[in-house]
Amino acid sequence: MRIGVDGSKIPHEADDSGVAILERAHALGMEGVYFRTILDITPTLDRGLLADVRACADDLGLYLQMGLAKVNPFAAAEAPHVRRLGDGDYTRGMIKMIEAAHEAAGVTDLWVACANYQKGLPGYHVYDRFRTDAPWADQLVAIEKFLRLLAPVARDHGVHMNIETHEEITSFEVVRLVEAVGPDVLGVTFDTANVVVRGEDPVAAARRVAPYTRATHLRDFLLGEQDGMFGRVFAPIGQGSLDWDAIVGTLHAGNPDLPLTIENAGPSLHLPIGLDDPAWLALHPDYTEEEGAAIRKMGADYQERVDRGEAIPLSDFRAVPYDGERFIRESADALRASLARLGLAAGVAAG
């Protein structure tokens, strides 16, 4: 299991090339890069540039994964660049991205997600799950239909579209999509810090997704109240509430060659989790009290550490200036320590 970094989150200049980002990751001691979307490398799908990125990754001994875009037709309007790639056809734009990633860069694992985080909206409305114009059940139906449209192209190219456990969707729903459309073309990008926002214990979620997980977005979190609302705040791996030995061990059992990709993020964002809100619970039919209790315990354990003077209050933690490079280095150190405790040797990551 090799340790890498999200290509969109690693500190670099806005106009850096894909090759420059790979070189930056290598200089930080990373063993791979997961570009969130192929368009981060080349908005025009320049095959020469993609081939250069593949060659650089190979020369540096880095794993290479890439991404596509959202697979929710209700969110397609938020990605007009994909529609432009397809000359007005969003589906064709996605197909061109699949073809370019595989044929020019040799990438077989491609990130997709089901919605955007709606920055600036209040409360639960940051999640598309809570839209009333497009009920979440209708969105899931549309997502499955769209994935079925893309499946033959993915199958022809031998690639997997790996659905992220993003903030709007549960791991239960992701697994159902994978099994409905087919694990030969769909996989999972497991984000360890997002599932808690949907009322899931991350260790239990890891068990659910492990058989299908082909990519990761790894970061830790702390839980607590801010402005009267219980929620999640990001933290470097090993500095939050997650049991990394349990998670890494579970993921390794499902895929020993799984790349471990750090997705660094600042601590300022506090996202709500409505475990005691009937309106929130009504939109989480898979929620269990057992996993809710695990979340409450993580929050209570953190507060006990604060009370004992072993940790700083959540408001103070959120005020700590964010340093992306430090987040990556400290997270990588924590992952290496976990792998060492588990006795897991580095594997050859899928790419």
Contacts with 53 (C-beta within 8 Å, 6 or more apart), sequence order = 18, 19, 22, 41, 64, 105
Do β-strands 63-70 and 32-34 pair in parallel, antiparallel, or remain unpaired? parallel
Token representation of residue 179 = 């099994």
CB 64 within 8 A of CB 32: yes
Q: List Cβ neighbours of 166 (8 Å cut-off, separation of 6 or more).
A: 113, 114, 115, 117, 191, 194
Structure tokens at 146: 């769209």
% the chain with pLDDT above 90: 89
Per the CATH hierarchy, to which homologous superfamily does domain 3-218+239-263+324-342 belong?
Divalent-metal-dependent TIM barrel enzymes (3.20.20.150)
* Residue the block writes with tokens 């340093």: 323
Residues with Cβ within 8 Å of residue 157, at least 6 apart in sequence: 98, 99, 102, 103, 108
136-155 pLDDT, tens digit each: 999 999 999 999 999 999 99
Can you give the pLDDT at residue 349?
41
Look at residue 12 in the predicted model and tell me its pLDDT: 84
Between CA 319 and CA 308 the distance in angstroms is 20
What's the DSSP call for residue 168? Answer: T
Structure tokens of 196? Answer: 């808690």
Q: Which helix (H) or strand (E) holds 21?
A: helix 18-27
Distances (CA, A) of 323 to 202, 236, 313: 25, 10, 19
Domain boundaries, the chain: 3-218+239-263+324-342
Summarised one tens digit per residue, pLDDT across range 43-87 is: 999 999 999 999 999 999 999 999 999 999 999 999 999 999 999
The CA distances from residue 290 to 55, 128, 198, 294, in Å, are 48, 25, 14, 7
Query: Tens digits of per-residue pLDDT, 240-267?
Result: 999 999 999 999 999 999 999 999 988 8
Q: What are the CB-based long-range contacts (under 8 Å, 24+) for 297-302? A: 298/196, 298/223, 298/241, 299/223, 299/224, 299/230, 299/241, 301/241, 302/222, 302/223, 302/224, 302/241
The dihedral region occupied by 64, where left means phi > 0, alpha psi between -120 and 50, and beta the remainder, is beta
Task: Give residue 268's pLDDT.
Answer: 80
pLDDT of residue 348: 38
Global confidence as pTM: 0.95
DSSP 90-111: HHHHHHHHHHHHHHHH---EEE
Q: What was the pLDDT predicted at 347?
A: 43
Which residues of the chain fall short of a pLDDT of 70? 345-351
The answer to whether the beta carbons of residues 257 and 2 sit under 8 Å apart is no
Residues contacting residue 240 through CB under 8 Å, at least 6 positions apart = 220, 221, 222, 234
| Residue 294: per-residue pLDDT | 97
d(Cα 289, Cα 274) in Å, to the nearest integer?
A: 13
Output the six-digit token pair for 167: 């903030």
Task: Provide the residue type at 173 as one letter.
Answer: E
Tell me if 214 sits within 8 A of 187, measured CB to CB: yes
Q: Are 93 and 153 in contact (CB under 8 A)?
A: no
